[in-house]
Amino acid sequence: ALSEFLPPLFLLAASPVYGVRVMSSRALVAMIPPSEYLATVLQLVEKLPESPDVVCCHNRLHGQLLQIGAILTRALKTN
């Protein structure tokens, strides 16, 4: 049921406001079950730019990295 709220959290990762990006990473971890950690990290990694030459939104990149970091941190704590 909470999976409906994941797309907005992915969008909030691109916010120009630092605090919003941090909160979206915290909320994402709280809304996905531990069994979905790996799939979510892989989904976020697939969205990362493939090379440094690719033009991207730095806020989005930072938000995605925050989300990946938050998931991995939680995964290490739960195992």
pLDDT band at 45 (very low <50, low <70, confident <90, very high): very high
pLDDT at 79 over 90: no
DSSP string for 25-54: HHHHHHHS-GGGHHHHHHHHHHTS-SSTTS
User: Mean pLDDT score of the chain, rounded to an integer?
Assistant: 91
pTM greater than the 0.85 cutoff: yes
Q: Which residues contact 58 (CB under 8 A, 6 or more apart)?
A: none
Phi, then psi, of 63 in degrees rounded to 5: -65, -40
